[in-house]
């Protein structure tokens, strides 16, 4: 493959969602595999600090090199790359041996983000852990493409809504703080009953109407877009949950959402994970291959699936 210019910035895709067990790690691995097999140069980063297991999906024993070396001994990220066995794709594991994931301070996090942007590759896919800790949310906000993975279960849907809401609110607060409007979002929300603000979208609409603030919010939130993937679909009704979530995000959060696709539940996926073998779509059913191809191509092209109700 042609050597990439170090001056060209990698495109950052972050795969997240607050609930564990939705298949974020598997989705990250399969998107990376698809891109790599199309000739794209890909680096996977396992940012599930303290619970990293992305390497196991490629049959790799726990790597001796990890982000521990970056944080503690300043080893460059390009020296932490581990081969995945798939051409064009490498991995940086997030296994933190002596640091708790919530002990990564803000300056360390910013340093990591700066160095990730300098990686000599076309795509960096970052798998983040579960929960709504600031390290998880800030990594999600760091992305050029924010990919949310969930399963069609009530708890997962509720957790996803709260995850996206928290990410949007943090983005709003950080943006206002940068322009010396620290605290105004909290203060306005605390007084929401008086101001008749019912939800986060109402808060943003209210702040947009304030002098000197509206243009800031419009500019800073213009790139906040969610790319939604549903995993472990079991019937046709499950497929339409993605469209419902998109409508909910628009109504209550006022954000743009693209429902890029879904993947049905299949035992072959479970077997590949259990056997610690890379999942190769063309070795499984053509149905899975088409679903993976559809949502990854939609991510590449900025498109979404079209649903036709029967």
d(CA 14, CA 46): 10
**Inter-residue contact 235 to 27 (CB < 8 Å):** no
283 has pLDDT over 70 = no
**Angle in degrees, CA 90, 95, 99, rounded to 5:** 140
3-state secondary structure string across 69-80: HHHHHCCCHHHC
Full strand arrangement of the beta sheet holding 123-128: 82-83, 89-92, 42-47, 123-128, 11-16, 145-150, 225-233, 256-264
184 has pLDDT over 70 = yes
* Structure tokens given for 68: 């521990």
pLDDT band at 182 (very low <50, low <70, confident <90, very high): confident
277 has pLDDT over 70 = no
What residues contact 11, with CB distance under 8 A and at least 6 apart? Answer: 122, 123, 124, 144, 145
* Structure tokens given for 229: 């993937």
**Inter-residue contact 106 to 142 (CB < 8 Å):** no
pLDDT given at position 276: 63
Of 92-96, 147-151, 173-177, the range with the lowest mean pLDDT is 92-96
- What are the chain's domains? 11-155+225-301 (3.40.50.300), 169-219 (no CATH)
Distance of CA 59 to the CA centre of its chain: 23
pLDDT given at position 14: 97
Report which of residues 164 and 17 the model is more confident about: 164
d(CA 131, CA 139): 12
Q: What is the average per-residue pLDDT within 145-160?
A: 93
* Mean predicted lDDT score pLDDT of the chain: 87
Of 302, 227, 237, 170, residue with least CA distance to 24:
227
How many other β-carbons are positioned within 10 Å of the β-carbon of residue 211? 6
pLDDT band at 196 (very low <50, low <70, confident <90, very high): very high
Report which listed range, 74-83, 97-106, 265-274, is most confident. 74-83
Instruction: Express as a percent the part of the chain with pLDDT over 70.
Output: 88
What are the CA-CA distances from residue 129 to residues 41, 136, 254 (Å)?
24, 7, 25
């Amino acid at each position: 493959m042609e050597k990439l210019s170090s001056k060209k910035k990698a495109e950052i895709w972050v795969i997240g969602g607050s609930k564990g067990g939705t298949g974020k790690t598997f989705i990250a691995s399969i998107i990376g595999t698809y891109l790599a097999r199309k000739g794209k140069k890909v680096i996977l980063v396992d940012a599930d600090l303290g619970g990293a297991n992305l390497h196991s999906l490629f049959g790799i024993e726990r790597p001796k090199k990890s982000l521990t070396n970056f944080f503690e001994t300043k080893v460059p990220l390009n020296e932490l790359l581990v081969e995945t066995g798939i051409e064009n794709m490498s991995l940086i594991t997030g296994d933190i041996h002596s640091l708790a994931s919530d002990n990564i301070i803000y300056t360390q996090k910013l340093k990591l983000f700066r160095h990730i942007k300098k990686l000599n590759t076309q795509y960096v896919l970052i798998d983040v852990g579960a929960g709504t800790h600031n390290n998880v949310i800030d990594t999600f906000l760091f992305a050029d493409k924010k990919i949310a993975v969930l399963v069609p279960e009530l708890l997962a849907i509720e957790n996803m809504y709260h995850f996206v809401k928290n990410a949007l609110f943090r983005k709003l607060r950080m943006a206002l703080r940068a322009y010396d409007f620290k605290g105004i979002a909290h203060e306005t929300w605390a007084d929401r009953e008086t101001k008749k603000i019912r939800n986060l979208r109402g808060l943003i609409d209210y702040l947009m109407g304030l002098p000197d603030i509206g243009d800031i919010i419009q500019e800073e939130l213009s790139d906040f877009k969610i790319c939604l993937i549903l995993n472990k679909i079991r019937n046709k009704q499950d497929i339409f949950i993605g469209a419902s979530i998109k409508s909910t995000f628009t109504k209550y959060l006022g954000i743009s959402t693209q429902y890029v696709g879904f993947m049905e539940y299949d035992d072959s996926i479970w077997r590949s994970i259990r056997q610690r073998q890379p999942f190769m779509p063309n070795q499984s059913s053509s149905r899975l291959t088409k679903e993976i191809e559809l949502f990854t191509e939609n991510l590449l092209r900025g498109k979404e699936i079209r649903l036709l109700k029967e």
